Structures are given as structure tokens and as C-alpha cells.
Structure 1
Amino acid sequence: MRFEIMKKGLLTFLQKGLSARQFRRLAILDLLRGAAAGKEVPHRLAGRLEALARLVPSAVVTRLGSHADGLTETEAVGKRELTGLNEVGHEKPMRWFTHLWLCYRNPFNVLLTLLAVISWLTEDMKATVVIGSMVVISTLLRFVQEKRSNSAADKLKEMVSNTATVLRRDMAQEIAQEARQYFGVQLHPQAARRVEVPIRLLVPGDIVLLSAGDMIPADVRLLAAKDLFVAQAALTGESLPVEKFCEAGPCPDGNPLELGNLCFMGTNVVSGTATAIVIATGSNTYFGALAERVTTQDRTPTQFQAGVNKVSWLLIRFMFVMTPLVLFINGFTRGDWVEAALFALSIAVGLTPEMLPMIVTSTLAKGAVILSRKKVIVKRLDAIQNFGAMDVLCTDKTGTLTRDRIVLERHTDAFGAVSDEVLDMAYLNSCYQTGLKNLLDVAVLEHADLHQKLDAAGNFRKVDEIPFDFSRRRMSVVVSEHDDRHLLICKGALEEVLSVCSHVRHGETTGVLDQALLARIRTVTAGLNQEGLRVVAVATRALPAARDTYGVADESGLTLVGYIAFLDPAKESTAPALAALKANGIEVKVLTGDNERVTLKVCRDVGLAIRGVLVGTDIDAMSDARLAVAAENATVFARLSPIQKERLVRVLRGNGHVVGFMGDGINDAPALRAADIGISVDSAVDIAREAADIILLEKSLMVLDQGVIEGRKTFANMLKYIKMTASSNFGNVFSVLVASAFIPFLPMLPLHLLVQNLLYDVSQVAIPFDNVDEDALRQPQKWNPDELGRFMLFFGPISSVFDISTYALMWFVFGANTAAQQTLFQSGWFVEGLLSQTLIVHMIRTRKLPFIQSRAAWPLLAMTAVIISIGIFLPMGPLAGYFKLQALPLSYFPWLIATLLAYMALTQAMKGFYARRYGWQ
């Protein structure tokens, strides 16, 4: 009873004591912006990490308010209230109403809304309904399509590992501590227990247990470690793991990643075990600092977005010029300013391609569906078009050009001749070492036939091991063969192994390692390096079987027996994929943190032509102007930091390129964000997937090539709508200006213009499903508003020629030349205008001869037939009176057919002239 009362009192005390004010996170973003070029972590954060690294383990535990046996659950909950969850600053999903507003917010929808309000104020309800329908349909379609696409992408945003093993003191320990402190009662609780805790619930002060295969769940300080090797490629781009110790070691250039007793969120344990204490979580981690830099910076407009905005404002400016002209001409010639204003308002609507957002979204959504069948998730619909516009692809090397799997390429003696003995010695070293089993050892141990040949378990016995460390950069094992002698086998970096060698073996003979032989050895290894091979030296020393303990001092007087050389081989699919990208007008540039020699070897293997090489130190020494020139002339960029990658992408974009970047590590995230199109894979680190626009379920350049083609189809179909609408509407307005000047009544009522425009736009809904000519897919396609204006001037007046001929036909042939006959005149022009607009789709959709050399997809053909039928039915059917139209005489239709055929013939001729002079996009 006394125990329960004491427990309740202590819990109340703890709960009150832990309810402190909310902890405010470090201003990491501001510090990042103020950091010197090339520094990826704030100085204050680096200083804090280094200070914790320098403390002894017990002092770190005390400073973080923890205990050698870990936190209690109550303490962890209290700390979590102060620090928040252990999550980096991802982009927060938009609320539905925010997303709906963004879908609505574009120049055309805002303009149409204004026109609908004006129509409503002037009590023109038919116009209000027609214009409002255009806005609602366009906005809702975009909202629904983007919502579906984003939901599919969200399914990939889960951490690979979401739990960590931590030490927890149970309630009895908590009570015992408080009882001893406040009541003087000595209790004896049980020891700490291991529990699995979701990574997001970790707090500073948690004691975590790490072993091979674990992700580092937060920034941690090691308290104890045994043969601990950590893969930091996601942060640094290093291909090989680094060893971690309990001691801090040197910290060159203030880079906390070099501190030997700190491990960072986003990395993982390759081998060994460790006990560590969490020193930072969430946005306060090194990972979080980079992540917050990526997710909080504003995206610059992509090439697609900038192009759409330019086209939009071009058409809006044109409308602002033409609409007042129509207003004043009709107002002065007829004196009815109200009617003139309504007519000018209808002209404004007719000039506005109000279905552009809907057509764009429908086309992009169709592309997203097709890509999803090819194992590609589209996060942002705009990114599909950027696939087609992309002319430079920046990609990492490992896993994209290569298999991401190191293989043993060669085993030679000291002078380059193939040597089985070297492979035997390397196998024994890798087999018996208990420290890091890195990718190099895995590649050696794959030669399973050697195990039987050497009979490692029977003929050889391990005596001792001299572990690897990064000051020596080598490791040794001592084995005994039949217990009659000991053999020390050393394996490591060339220069470090040579420094302890006194002899060199060549065949059956052994000679003294003099300067001449040393020069020859360096020539041989330099040749291997030039081939992109990573060279590891192997040396041995025979020792008497007199003792069982060996140390670093025994690594002396060794005999160099040769080298093993490794390569991360190229993928078989890379070469054809690169050839396809080149054929499609895309230049591939390799941006990697790896060595330039290895990268060059891989590039040669996959057939990538190298025009130049830049390394990170070269880039830092260049101004942006110099780098802009150098980046154009180089193909390989090696030994890069994350900020250098981002800078290169921005420089290439500044040169006018549409840049795609493909990467999967946090070191790639800034560049992914800076690119026109960021491409990642589902196995990438979480922040890389967050920054990407496209997520591949298969890391393959061939998938990218398919995406490029799909993007170009998407762009071509969107451009069809813009060209057809802009040129046709321009021609209609020019025709209206002519009619307004010479005809004593309105050539078409405002209602007629709105209905005609709506029917025309409905006919374009099938454009996303249209075919695209093969020759239109061979080169990158970009938005060019200037080209669009020229296209309008060339093709718009063609329709005006036949509009004016229709005026003459109705005026002189059918006698519709008085106000009493204006309905007949308006009906004749309504039908001719709608049919010519609808048919011109098939003329402008292709450079070739329509219906014969290039045929539209069946949905577009069917929609064209439907709209033509409706256009003829409205004046000829029972609804004619409602729309203020009247039936046309049958003799009108032969004239109509002749007009349309002449219109199509003249347009085809103009296409040939225009394409020869300006090209055809």
C-alpha cells in the first residue's frame, strides 16, 4: 500500500516537473543561407556536435539528462513534448481547399470569372452559365487528376526501417530513484530492458543499440563500439563504409561527418555493434538541416510553368487590344453601347482559351496513367511535359550506369601478370577477418570454389587478427597452415601496404623492393587506376609458430605478392538507353561523389562520349560565369558535394537548358529540387523521394527514355490546342472587326459566339488521346511564345479570308443584307465558323497531309463528327429559335463544302511555306 501511494505521488511530481515550455528548434535554414559556399551544415550545429563528441561518455549522458540504463517511458514522453517528433521537415500535404484554390488560380480562370461576373451584373444569365461552366469543369478536372496522382505518390513515402532498439528503465527503476532521492527508501529494481520504439518517437537522451543492418535513427554519440562500420553514402556519396569509434578523432575543416564517434540519421550500420545516445532528433539533426534546406526553399518556376505563363499573358494582352477595338467600332457605328459592350465581352471570351487548364491537365493525367503502367509514379503532373522538354539529363553513376554491385575484376602479381596466389591470399584474409565485411570482401568471397581448394576450415586455422583502421588503411590476419608455421596476410591501400614491404615476389623468385621496382609497381597500378579499377595490395610474411598474439608492429618486412582490382560494372541496359537518349536529343552528364578515374572507366564501358571532366575543387574555384562555360563542355563531374551538384544544375538551367536530375541520396536532394524535373527511385532516402517529381519503381535509364517520349507526346497534344485556338480565335476577331465596320448589324450575337466557343472547346477534349507523328518526337520540345505569336499571324487571317467570303455569300447570294434578315446571316456564319474551327484541328495537328498521311485518333475523329452534327442541327432543328438562329436553305451547303475545301487547301499550302521557313513544332 505504501509502495502504491509513493508511486502515485512520484508520478504526479514528475508530470508537473516535465510540463515545461515548448522547445524552439534551431534556426537551421537561416544559418544554412549564411554559411560559406560549400558548407552543407551550419557552423552552430557543427560546433554543438563537435562539443558533444569531445565529452567523455558519462558527461554526454549527464548533459542530455539521461541515464546509463536509458530513459523511463515517462521521461521519454516528457522530452517528446519539448522536442517534438523525430521527423525531418517534409513538405506538408495541402488541405483540399488550398489545393482546389491552386487548381483554380491561373490567368484564364481568373479572367473568365471576371467576365462571368460582368455577364451576371448585366443580367445575361445564358452567358454567365456558359462561362461559369467552363471555369468549374476546368478547375474540378485538374483538382481530381492531381489528387489521384498525389495519393499514388504518397504510398511510397515510408521509411525503410521504422523502429529502433532502445534501453528503457522500467517504472520500478524510476520509482526507486525518486524514492531514494525524496524519501530515503532503498529499493532494488530490475535491470534496463530492450524495447522496439518507432523511430519517430525517439528523443534526445535515448540509449539505442545498433547492429549490422540497422538504420541510424537520429544523430547519435557512440558510448561503446566494436568493429562498427557505417555506410554514409546517403550523406557524403562515399562508396565505401567508414569505421566509427568511441573516440572523437580529428575534425578537418569543422566537418562533423569526419568525427569518428558520431553517427547520423540517414546512414546505416554495415557491420559491428554499438551502444549510442541520441543527441539530436528531427530537424535538429544533420539530415534534418539538409532536409529543411530542401523542403523550405521556394521552387523556381519550371520551364513548363514559365512557358504556360508566357503563352497565357500573350493571349491576354492580345485580348486587351482587340476587345476595346470591337467595342468602339460597334459602339460608334451603331450607337447601341450596351449591345456593343456585350458583344465585346463575348469577343473577350472567344479570345480566351479557357479550356487550356483542362486540356493541359487531361493530357498530363493521361500521360501519368501510361507511365504508371511502366513502373513510374508521377508526383507532379507538370513534370511529364518536362520529360519531353528535357535536353540535359544529369545522373549519378552508382546504380544508374552501374549494377551497384562491386565485382573482382583482376588478381595480378606485382607486375600485372595474372596470379592465382594473390587471389588465394586475398580469400584467406577476407574469410578470416571478423571486422568489416565490405563490398570488396563480399566480391572476393563470391569465389566459393576457393574455399574448397584451400579447405580453409581444415588446412588453415586463424591465429589472430590486426583490425583495419583508417590511419593505417590496411588490415591483417594471421593463419596457421597445419600448425607448423604462421602466415601474416595483409590487405589494404597500395601506398600503406608498400610502406611496410621490404620485398616483392615475381613468379617463384623474391627480390628486394628497391626504387626501380617501386617505380615499376606504381606504373602498373597507375595503369589499373586509369581503367577505373580500385586497387588493393596484398602482402604476406612467414612467421614462426611461437606465439598467438600479434600487433601492428608485426606488419613490417612484408613481401608484396600482388593486387586485387575491383569494378562496379556497367548495366547491360545502360548503353542502349544512352544511345536512345542521344537519338532523342538528350545530352547525359554524370554528377557523382565518386573518383573521376572510376567514373571515366564506367562511362567508356557504356559508350558515353566524354568531352571533359571537372572535379569538385575545380568547380569551387570558378565563378558562375566561368562555370557556365565549363559545364557546357564537360560530361563528367566527380568528387562533388551536394551543394556543388545543386550549383551545376542551376548553372545549366541558366544556360537555357531544361535539366533533369536523377539521384537517390540525401546528397542529391538539393539538386533534385533545383532541376526542372527531379527523378528518384522508391528505394531512395525519404528526403530524395520528397524532393523528386518522378519516382521510378525501377532504376533504369530505359524507363526514362520511355518517359521522354510520353512527355513529348503530351507536349505536342497541348501545343495543338494552343495553336489551333489562338490562330482560329485571332482569325475570328479579325473577321468581326471587318464585319463591324461594314455590316449594319452584328455579324453574330454574343450568345452565338459563346455557344460556338463552348462547342469548339468541347471538341478539343479528345486531344489528349490523339496520335503524334513520329518525327515530332525526335527532339526536345519547348514552349516558345514568340513562335506562337508568329503562328497566329500566319494562320489566323486564312480563316478571315473565308469568313469574309461567307459574308459576301450571305449578303449577295442569299440576300441577308438587312436588319430583318440578320438571323439568316448570323446562322450562315455560325455554321461556317464552327465547322471551319473544328476541321482546322486536323489541319494543324500535323505537318503532313491530314486524313491521308497522318490520321487523328478515333476519339478526336468521333468528337469532330459530333460537334459538326450539332453545329448543323442547331439552326436546322427545333432549338433554332431558342438560340436565335434560323434554318438555312439547302443550296447553302454546297457553297459551305466548297468554302471548307478551299480553306483546308490554303492552310495546307501555308503549312508547307511556314515549315520551310520557321520549322514545325
Structure 2
Amino acid sequence: MNFLKSLFVSFLRTRHTMRHFRRLMILDSLSGPGVTRAVPDDLATELMQAATDSTPGVLARLHSHEDGLTSAEVGLIAERVGPNEVEHEKPLRWWQHLWHCYKNPFNLLLTVLAAVSFFTEDFKAAIVIGLMVVLSTLIRFVQEGRSSRAAERLKEMVSNTATVIRRGLATDVVEVAKRYFDVQLHTRPPVRMEVPIKALVPGELVVLSAGDMIPADCRVLLAKDLFVSQSAMTGESLPVEKFPEHRGSASRNPLEMNNLLFMGTNVVSGSATAVVVTTGNRTYFGVLATRVTAADRTPTSFQAGVNSVSWLLIRFALVMVPIVLLVNGFTKGNWTEAFLFALSVAVGLTPEMLPMIVTSTLAKGAVILSRKKVIVKRLDAIQNFGAMDVLCTDKTGTLTQDKIFLERHTDVFGQDSDDVLKYAYLNSYYQTGLKNLLDRAVLDHAGLQAELKLAQDYQKVDEIPFDFERRRMSVVVSEQNHHHELICKGAVEEILAACTRVQVSGGESLLFDAAMLERVRSVTSDLNEQGLRVVAVAMKEVPPNKSIYAIGDEAELTLIGYIAFLDPPKESTAPALKALAEHGVSVKVLTGDNELVTAKICREVGLPLERVILGQQLDALDEAALSTLVERYNVFAKLTPLHKERIVRALRGNGHVVGFMGDGINDAPALRAADIGISVDSAVDIAKEAADIILLEKSLMVLEEGVIEGRKTFSNMLKYIRMTASSNFGNVFSVLVASAFLPFLPMLPLQLLVQNLLYDISQIAIPFDNVDEDLVKKPLKWNPGDIGRFMVFFGPISSIFDITTFCLMWYVFKANTVQDQSLFQSGWFVVGLLTQTLIVHMIRTPRLPFIQSRAALPLTLMTLFIMALGIFLPMGPLGEYFKLVPLPLLYFPFMVAIVLGYMVLTQWMKAFYVRRFGWQ
């Protein structure tokens, strides 16, 4: 348990991020007409007041300042309003958690059976059934409780953060110090700092850029081309532009105010400064979420599969138990005894350990994955992880090293140019949006130390943020008062579309005609074929007659040249791709990068490449044509976010279980569309929110290890379900045969309950079991229909040897009268328990058990202990308590022969089953 406890710590490092993902799921259930009526009038009034106030007015009402709050002010407000958390996201109280662990169909059914046993004065049966319920509930409660406490201790380490503006020493403190103490203090300028989202308070100034989640309900103070996706809140499919002042018709609905931002939505593009209006339960989301009772997700395919098996067994019990009751009642004439026996059969048919086995197996798998640098945000995702047969991934940082170097800076003809370097540096230095790896490479370039002074010689005037439609961004700077310089950098084709002239050596500019365009494309293609990622740089001088610039100003530019980056492939990529292919996972590359660079990298890492499909080619395809195309090709370049999403949906529509790996804001739609979204801990907020799995290391090799572990976890869980289903079916069949011909019960109700309890205890170690390599070679998909076939196929095998035992006890040992029934029941008790326990080893593997495939030591020791205890009970002092009697020595050679025969026949049938149906 200490081992599990220490590993749970690493497993739950993303609990806080997981809470934010739940916000998105809850928001999905909140959007739609009539939602605003659920919000109290006082909150709507407060938000509308913030929307209609002037900037000074809203700051004054929130007791804030244009330079932000001081840390002392934040502390005082936090004491009054509490943390920025929604109440429903807090951990359950212990008694609520205990009830949650208890309330599954099996425990409820067992409780009813225990109550019936108690009121019919079968106190021993009531105790045994109650022990089953307590054991199942407490094991689940202890494991989940430990994980929850570990998460609470560690959430501060991994909580999402927001960028805030804080003041230094407050002005009033300075005045007091000067007036009363004659001490001269100086206020410090405002600073930007990262703070945990839960530490935000009303009045806080937050700085937002592309990829950020909105951390609270806010009023926009400053904005530059700010577009926010609030589809989860309002149902609007397109991002909404936000402004410092409300624009448009008057409205009384806060959601229609385009200067308000709401918790749980996210910034698509642009940048802004906003003031926090409400936090936690007082946010629009917080109030709605606390009123939505059905906040849980729709059951996943895995949950639906487990539930289907559960109800299959319950329905089976509801049919068979009355039959057992009627057969025994009519044949024995003692309806009270028949009723108690039928109740015991019902308990035996109830897989009361299923919830515990499922929970502990998933948790154990997640713990092991965390050791492999794979963090599972949602336990049920492990099943999809193991079932994944197609992995879609971006190129940068996954196939490549994620360490981009500025390799060249050239003019339009491919000659090295310091002017291009200068303009690229100014653009990256002054842009305040989402700085990507390319910007960092420019800023970190070794030859730019002297350029730092250059940046200080310029003053920033404005910027036009990046978005994924334009694929470029601009800054406007001023070196001299008589002109401004608009510097634009971005994807080559998008920059060329905005250029009318090119700059050549000596500063001369030429008209950008068709011949020049052909020459420019030849230069950029040569750079691409060298494996370099090319970004174009352009500029124009404009009069200093305005301070606000927009996308329309990115026109009639002069092309200056290119900056070319090297992003070499990782050494681990080729082996990882080979390993994934060997395990049945095909990899498809979905990138927004240039097709020539993408093709070169794919060839270097050994990814099969027939043809690179471009995003613009997808636009002309209908869904049927796209479904065919995505099956044939595996490399797609120059994609927009919607292209990636379409490809993922097309693959899912073809029946694949699709994983998508991405870390940028442009990957969020595809992450949500995939069966399993995979991101990294360094990803933007919205990508982490949409992901089910977080990698601590951005590597396909790490992912391959995670896939294998996911399959092992699913395989162990499937073992218990198969064992329980087949064993239960066989037991009922045996009981029906015995009940029809015996003048007494084949086993007393208490004996059946004890046997079932011992069997359940033997299953506790299944989550720790080994898994054959063959079983993880291919994706494992959930197939509830296979469970029923498996149950019918293997269940009757145990019944053959049960009936053999009946004949042995009846004819050989003459236990054929009511007076000798204890000997008969003791004989079947031992054989039944041994075969039930051995089924663990027989069905855990398609191979020859104990020789070709060995169970893990904990499972082996547990089953040996239960088998030994089962043999000891009739022979020991407790036998009389359970109405069991010592068995004659001659019984044991027969017992060994029966058990060996059972193993041989099961192995033979298993081989036939594998040939006919396969194992998984």
C-alpha cells in the first residue's frame, strides 16, 4: 500500500488541470436557450454594471487601480471572498465519498440479500454477505481516498496560472511615511507575475493572449484583435471579438456584452488586459454549475461496456435465481431452505468486487503510467489508450527535437542579410502575444547580443497579433518621429500575398512581378529542401499619423528576406515509429508546416511517404472522399485547425480509435474530436484542458510505452470480467443439475457464501498481474458481445467436473442420504473453490499457464493461500461452524485428478477458442 501511495502522488499531478477540463464538459451542458434565467438577478446586475461602467468607473467600483492591486490588497480581498474555485469541484467529504463507493448495483443487491437473511434469522449468512459489502466498499474507499488526498497536497505544484499586473508599494503608504515619519519612500513600477488561477480576486488585472483560458469573469480594459471562443457557454460556433467598450445594440443579457469575458472560455487570438469582476462560485459559470445536477459526463464506451456486463450478470441472476428457487422448492419440499439457498446463489452470481477491481486496476495502471512520464487525467481514458490504432501527431517537437535553431537569415535571393535579422528581432522582441519556438530561437540567437541595444533604440507603437487564418503577425515601431515601421513576419505564402515590392542589395526596392515571384519561390524551396523551416519578413514605412493599426494595414509590404530555422529529428523518433507500427498503431502526421520540410523530416525518420496532402486540397473534398483519402495517406501539411479536426473525425468515422497529440491552440479542436487527446505539460492552457493524457516528455517513445501500459491495464481488467462471468454461469448450471436430482441441497447457503467470499479475496491481486507480450501487440477494443460468448463457452466446463464430483461423492463415498449430506457438501465445496480459483490462472492467458505464462507473485500467493484455506476449512476446527466435515484421505487423489482434468480440458478448449475467435 505504501508503494501505491507514493506512486499515486505522481499519478495525480494533474488533478487541478483535470478540474478545468471538467469545466468545459459542464459548460457543454449549460449552453442553449434559457440558460440566463438560471443566473441570479444580483449576479446579472453586477456583470451588466461592469460592462456599462467606464474604465475608471469599473476600477473604482472594484477598488482596483490602473496599475493593478498590491499584494497586500490581494491578501485582504482573498480573506473576504475566498479562493477562485467552483464549489462543486472540491473533494467530496469522507461520508459522501464512502456513499459513492458503496452505491453500485451489486452492493445494493447484496445489502438487500443481507437484510433478508437477517430477518429470516440466518445470521451467519447475513454476516458473510455484510462482510462482502464492507470489503468491497472499504477497499475502493481507501484507494480513492489516498489518491484524493495526494492530489490535494500536490495541486499547487501543477495548477494553471494567470499573468497579472501588480503594483509595487502603494501611494498612500508613501504619503503616510513621508508625512508622519519623515521617511522618503518611492513607489515601484507595476510588474507582471504568474499566480495560480485560484489565487485571483476581484479587482485583479490579468493579461491574456492566444491560448489562455479565461480564469474568472472579467471586463476588458484593453484589447488588440481579441477573439474569444465561448461556444461552450453560448453555443456560438465562431470566435467572438471583444472590445474595451460594448459595441452593438443594448442588451440585458451579460453573454451578449462584447466587453465581458467568462470563466471557462478561451482566447483564440489577440491580446488583452482585463479586470476580474467575479471569481469562484460568483462567476457566471460557477453559479450555473452549482445548479446543474447532471454535471457528469456521458458514459464513455468503456463505462458503457462495464455497465452492460454488469447488467448482463444481474439479468442472468434475475432469471436463474427464481428457477433455482422453484426447482429446490418442489424437489425438496422445504421452501424456506430453498429460498435461502436461492439467495445464496444470487450472491454467488453477483460480481460484487467488479467496481473495486475496475477502479484499482485503472488506478494501478495510471500509477505505472505516471512512472513512465504519462499522466492520466481521466482514468477511463486508459481503455482508449490501449485501443488506439491510429495516432495523429504534429511534427515540431514530436518527430523533431523541439529545439529550433536560427540557422540562416537571408535576403530575397538567399544571401545572408543582417537587415533581415534586425527586423525579425524587432518583431519577436516587441510582440506580446503567444511567443512560439521560432520567436525564442530568434531572441536566443548568439549573434544578437549587440541587437539588444537596437531594440532599446526603438519604441513600440502597436501590434497586430497572430491568428491561424492570416498566419502572420506584425509590430509597429518608431525609431524617429517622422515615420513608423510596420514589420510583418509569417508563413511565406501569406507574407507574399501582402507584398507588392521586394528589397534588394543596397536598399533598393523592385516591383514584385511574376518573374520575381518565381525567383523568390525557388529560393524558399531550396531552403525547404535542406530541411529548413522558412519564415518570411516584410516591412513598410508609414507616416506617424496614427497609433492604432489593424489587419488592413498589412498591405503593400516590401519583402525583406527570410529567416530559416533548423529543427532536426529526434534520434528516438525512428525506433518509436517502428515500435508503434509493431504494436498495431499507425502514425499520421498532421502539421501546419511547409510540405517540403515535412517530407524531408518524414523521410529521415523512416515514416512511409507516398504523397503529402495539403490543407487546401481537403477543402474540395466531401466527407466520403475525405474518408477514403485519410486511409491511404499518412502525411498532411499546411493544415488549419479545422483541417486537423476533419481528418480526425473522418478516421473515427472509418471505425478507428484515434489519438491526437498536440500542444498548441490550433490543436484544441482536434484534441476534443479524438477518442483520446494527448498533450504535454508545456502546452498552452486550452490544449491541456482538452487532453485526456498529459506527457511529461514530448516523445513518441514515451507514448509507445504508455500505449503498452494502457493495454496491460485493460487486459487485467478484462481477466476479472471474463473469470467472473464464466465462473458464475458454470456454478448456476451445476446448481440446477444438482438441485434436480439430489434429495438435499448440493451446498448450504452459508457454505456458498463463504466459498464466494474466498474467491473474491483471491481476485484482489489481479491489478498487479503480469500480461503476456502477445496480448499487447495489437489494440484492445472493448467488445461486450465477446463476454457473453466467452461465458457460455467456458462456463459449462467447470460444470462437467462439478457433476463428476457429485457422482464421486454419491457413488464412491456413499454420501447419498440426507444424513450424509455434509460429506457431499464438503466434497463439492473444496472442488468448487479450487476450480473457481484455478480459473484465474487458466483464463488469464491464452498460453499454457505456469509454464509458458506465469502470474505475478502477489496473484500466485493469493490464489495458493485461498486454495489451501479451502482445503483446510473442512479438516480444521472451523469446519463444524460451517457444517463441513473432514474428508477421507481417498478423496484427495480423486480431487487432484478432477482438478488436473479440469485444467487439461480448459486448456484444450482455450486453444480451440483462440483458433476460432481469437483471444482479445
TM-score category of the 2 structures, normalised to the smaller one: 0.7 to 0.9
Residue of structure 1 in register with 2:166 after alignment: 165
**What is the distance in 1 between the residues matched to 2:577 and 2:290?**
34
Comparing 434-443 with 137-146, greater Cα deviation is found at 434-443
Residue 160 of structure 1 deviates from its aligned partner by 3.5
State the identity %: 59
Alpha carbons 1:843, 1:908 under 8 Å: kept: yes
Q: Secondary structure at the match of 2:161?
A: coil
Residue of structure 1 in register with 2:706 after alignment: 707
Residue 396 of structure 1 deviates from its aligned partner by 5.8
Alpha carbons 1:146, 1:380 under 8 Å: kept: no
**What is the distance in 2 between the residues matched to 1:111 and 1:598?**
63
**What is the distance in 2 between the residues matched to 1:82 and 1:121?**
54
Residue 142 (structure 2) pairs with residue 141 (structure 1):
no
Residue of structure 2 in register with 1:11 after alignment: none
Deviations 1:798-844 (A, max 9, x none): 22222212222222222222222222222222222222222232222
Residue of structure 1 in register with 2:515 after alignment: 516
**What is the distance in 2 between the residues matched to 1:406 and 1:53?**
43
Alpha carbons 1:497, 1:537 under 8 Å: kept: no
Q: Secondary structure at the match of 2:765?
A: helix
**What is the distance in 1 between the residues matched to 2:805 and 2:399?**
62
Alpha carbons 1:406, 1:567 under 8 Å: kept: yes
Residue of structure 1 in register with 2:902 after alignment: 903
Residue 386 of structure 1 deviates from its aligned partner by 3.8
1:632–1:764 CA distance, 2 compared to 1 (3 A): same
1:150–1:847 CA distance, 2 compared to 1 (3 A): same
Deviations 1:213-251 (A, max 9, x none): 9999767777689xx999999999xxxxxxx99998999
Residue 57 of structure 1 deviates from its aligned partner by 5.5
Residue of structure 2 in register with 1:535 after alignment: 535
**What is the distance in 1 between the residues matched to 2:557 and 2:678?**
49
Residue 735 (structure 2) pairs with residue 736 (structure 1):
yes
5 Å matches for 1:248-647? 298-393=296-391, 399-400=397-398, 403-415=401-413, 417=414, 419-420=415-416, 422=417, 424-430=418-424, 435-436=430-431, 440=438, 442-449=440-447, 469-470=463-464, 492=489, 505=504, 514-522=513-521, 524-525=523-524, 533-537=533-537, 562-566=561-565, 571-588=570-587, 594=592
Residue 877 (structure 2) pairs with residue 873 (structure 1):
no
**What is the distance in 2 between the residues matched to 1:478 and 1:191?**
31
Amino acid at match of 1:356: L
5 Å matches for 1:221-260? none
Which blocks of at least 5 consecutive residues in structure 2 are unaligned?
Answer: 1-25, 36-42, 177-183, 233-240, 466-471
Comparing 908-917 with 579-588, greater Cα deviation is found at 579-588
Deviations 1:424-455 (A, max 9, x none): 2223335677633865454245442576xxx7
Amino acid at match of 2:100: L
**What is the distance in 2 between the residues matched to 1:851 and 1:808?**
30
Q: Secondary structure at the match of 2:352?
A: coil
1:520–1:311 CA distance, 2 compared to 1 (3 A): same
1:201–1:824 CA distance, 2 compared to 1 (3 A): closer
Amino acid at match of 1:310: S
Residue of structure 2 in register with 1:93 after alignment: 91
TM-score by length of 1: 0.73
**What is the distance in 2 between the residues matched to 1:31 and 1:354?**
35
Residue of structure 2 in register with 1:790 after alignment: 789
Alpha carbons 2:87, 2:281 under 8 Å: kept: yes
Alpha carbons 2:797, 2:906 under 8 Å: kept: yes
Alpha carbons 2:386, 2:710 under 8 Å: kept: yes
Deviations 1:612-631 (A, max 9, x none): 868699799978x9988887
1:77–1:170 CA distance, 2 compared to 1 (3 A): farther
Residue of structure 2 in register with 1:180 after alignment: none
Residue 116 of structure 1 deviates from its aligned partner by 1.3
Structure with the greater alpha carbon radius of gyration: 1
1:522–1:858 CA distance, 2 compared to 1 (3 A): closer
1:28–1:436 CA distance, 2 compared to 1 (3 A): same
Amino acid at match of 2:765: A
Comparing 764-773 with 300-309, greater Cα deviation is found at 764-773
Amino acid at match of 1:759: L
Comparing 151-160 with 716-725, greater Cα deviation is found at 151-160
Residue of structure 2 in register with 1:804 after alignment: 803
Residue of structure 2 in register with 1:41 after alignment: none
1:304–1:562 CA distance, 2 compared to 1 (3 A): same
Residue 310 of structure 1 deviates from its aligned partner by 0.9
**What is the distance in 2 between the residues matched to 1:146 and 1:379?**
14
How well do the aligned residues superpose, as a CA RMSD in angstroms?
Answer: 6.0
**What is the distance in 2 between the residues matched to 1:361 and 1:383?**
13
Alpha carbons 1:767, 1:860 under 8 Å: kept: yes
Residue 144 of structure 1 deviates from its aligned partner by 1.6
Residue 464 of structure 1 deviates from its aligned partner by 6.3
1:387–1:132 CA distance, 2 compared to 1 (3 A): farther
Alpha carbons 1:391, 1:657 under 8 Å: kept: yes
5 Å matches for 1:659-698? 659-660=658-659, 662=661, 677=676, 679-683=678-682, 693-698=692-697
**What is the distance in 2 between the residues matched to 1:292 and 1:661?**
32
**What is the distance in 2 between the residues matched to 1:457 and 1:675?**
44
Amino acid at match of 1:891: L
Say how many residue pairs are matched.
837
Deviations 1:80-113 (A, max 9, x none): 9999865578834323222222222222222212
**What is the distance in 2 between the residues matched to 1:747 and 1:450?**
88
Amino acid at match of 2:306: V
Residue of structure 2 in register with 1:890 after alignment: 889
Amino acid at match of 1:536: A
**What is the distance in 1 between the residues matched to 2:571 and 2:266?**
29
Residue of structure 2 in register with 1:106 after alignment: 104
Alpha carbons 1:435, 1:467 under 8 Å: kept: no
TM-score by length of 2: 0.73
Residue of structure 2 in register with 1:817 after alignment: 816
Residue of structure 2 in register with 1:17 after alignment: none
Deviations 1:572-602 (A, max 9, x none): 444443443333233456677x568599567
Alpha carbons 1:658, 1:676 under 8 Å: kept: yes
Residue of structure 2 in register with 1:753 after alignment: 752
**What is the distance in 2 between the residues matched to 1:70 and 1:450?**
34
Residue 509 of structure 1 deviates from its aligned partner by 11
**What is the distance in 2 between the residues matched to 1:49 and 1:520?**
56
Residue 133 of structure 1 deviates from its aligned partner by 1.1
**What is the distance in 2 between the residues matched to 1:291 and 1:667?**
27
Residue 854 of structure 1 deviates from its aligned partner by 1.4
Residue 337 of structure 1 deviates from its aligned partner by 0.6
Q: Secondary structure at the match of 2:166?
A: strand
Comparing 827-836 with 395-404, greater Cα deviation is found at 395-404
1:766–1:62 CA distance, 2 compared to 1 (3 A): closer
1:686–1:277 CA distance, 2 compared to 1 (3 A): closer
Alpha carbons 1:533, 1:598 under 8 Å: kept: no
Identify the match of residue 115 of structure 1 among 103, 106, 113: 113
Alpha carbons 1:387, 1:712 under 8 Å: kept: yes
Residue 301 of structure 1 deviates from its aligned partner by 1.1
1:595–1:456 CA distance, 2 compared to 1 (3 A): closer
Alpha carbons 1:473, 1:496 under 8 Å: kept: no
Residue 167 of structure 1 deviates from its aligned partner by 8.2
Alpha carbons 1:464, 1:549 under 8 Å: kept: no
